[in-house]
Structure 1
Amino acid sequence: MTGDNLVQCASRHIGEVYQLGAAAELENPDYAGPWDCADFVSWCVYQTFGVKLGLTAAGHPYTGAWIKWAEDPDHALPLEDAYQTPGAILVRRAHHYGAGHVAISDGRDGTIEARGQRYGVVRAKGRGRVWDLAGLPAAEP
């Protein structure tokens, strides 16, 4: 599987509902929301690569866990590269807007993300928004 496969997986969910604190069923391939940002990215990564990432010690998707993951040099990817890398994970720390956020790069300066209640799962601009870290889940064993 590749980053393009991750983008394809995420794209199939555009238009679905966002709900803060949603609990995605990671192992359910038919799950269709509601989503929050971390659940969406963790579910898409699991469905594409079969690896559970961005989870707390209790096994729940959490943006803070994605931050720790992206801070690890084994996963890190420069932001400029991430904008052009399909399937790269873009991460924002909470200090910018009071809440962290995580999204999937489409490889063309955009994202696919569970953006918020007003938006749901959408394609959005990636470059030009605030992101702190990026990583590449395809590099996982």
Structure 2
Amino acid sequence: MTDGEKMLKLAESRIGEKYVNVCVPKNNKNWHGPWDCAEFMSWLVYQVGGILYGCVDDNGNPATVEAYTGAWKSDSQKLGKRVPWRQAASTVGGILLRYPPGPGMMGHIVVCDGEGGTVEAMGTAYGVRRGKVSGRNWDTGVLLPNFTYGAAGGALDLAEPSQLYALGQPNMKASVIRDIQRALKELGFNPGPIDGEYNDLTVAAVAAFQATKGLIVDGQVGPQTAKRLKIEL
């Protein structure tokens, strides 16, 4: 069994467990949650490979060091190995990463089954569950250094990522941003002026809304958050 297959199998054994933004002891093989997405992935890496990866200090104490999608971004750049997201999606145990949109904010990370599916700690409303790669926004694929993987499968029928509304994202429609801002204001959140500008106040309001709904708290509006806001992207 390859290391990628071991990671996927171990991830599947945690399906149904709870999600909380918490530090997970990476060296505790009997840990059964709660999890957050980066802690879940770094725990899998430590259990399979005995290394810290995606942590704020990869030389730290595995019992107490925190994992973070921003650290995954940094490690994938410095230590490798970044691959196209479609390649990771078609590799058993391949990892897909969405970068944090800003300092102190959350991205997202999942492990792939090689057939277009994922296992991921998805948010407090969902816990650890199976998901799908298709139609979501990913910044890169990651294959871990010194891990073994099977050959990537054939090309998967994956939809291109949907429009994402986020700080600094290109090609956003001002009319949709105003819809986002109005929906947030009506729900009691403060997105700032209804001006069609996706600014820091709007990001903070989106993140606060996501937290109340048990979604991934990243301050970005994709399909799941839009559905909860009852708007069309």
- Please list every run of 5 or more consecutive structure 1 residues that lacks an aligned counterpart in the other structure: none
CA distance in structure 1 between the aligned counterparts of 2:32 and 2:116, rounded to whole angstroms? 25
CA distance in 1: counterparts of 2:23 and 2:3, whole angstroms: 25
1:102 aligns with 2:102: no
d(CA) in 2 for partners of 1:53, 1:99? 17
Cα-to-partner distance string for 1:76-129 (whole Å, 9 max, x where unaligned): 111110110111111102229x63111111111111110000000001001321
Q: Which structure exhibits the higher relative contact order, with contacts defined as CA atoms closer than 8 Å and separated by 6 or more residues?
A: 1
Q: Kindly, what percent of the aligned residue pairs are identical?
A: 37
Return the match for 1:76 from 79, 82, 87: 82
Which residue of 58, 63, 68 maps to 1:62?
Answer: 68
Residues in 2 aligned to 1:53 and 1:74: alpha-carbon distance in whole angstroms: 10
TM-score, structure 1 as length reference: 0.90
The total of aligned residue pairs comes to 139
Partner Cα separation in structure 2 for residue 103 and residue 2 of structure 1 = 16
Structure in which a larger fraction of residues adopt strand? 1
Runs of 4+ with >4 A deviation:
none
Q: Give yes or no for contact 1:70–1:91 (8 Å, CA) kept in 2.
A: no
Deviations 1:19-69 (A, max 9, x none): 02x111110100000000010000011111111110002631111001112
> Contact between 1:2 and 1:138, CA under 8 Å: does it hold in 2?
no
Give the conservation status (yes or no) of the 8 Å contact 2:39–2:68. Answer: yes
Give 5+ residue unaligned stretches, structure 2.
149-233
Larger Rg: 2
Cα-Cα RMSD: 1.9
Q: Retained in 2: the 8 A contact 1:49–1:138?
A: no
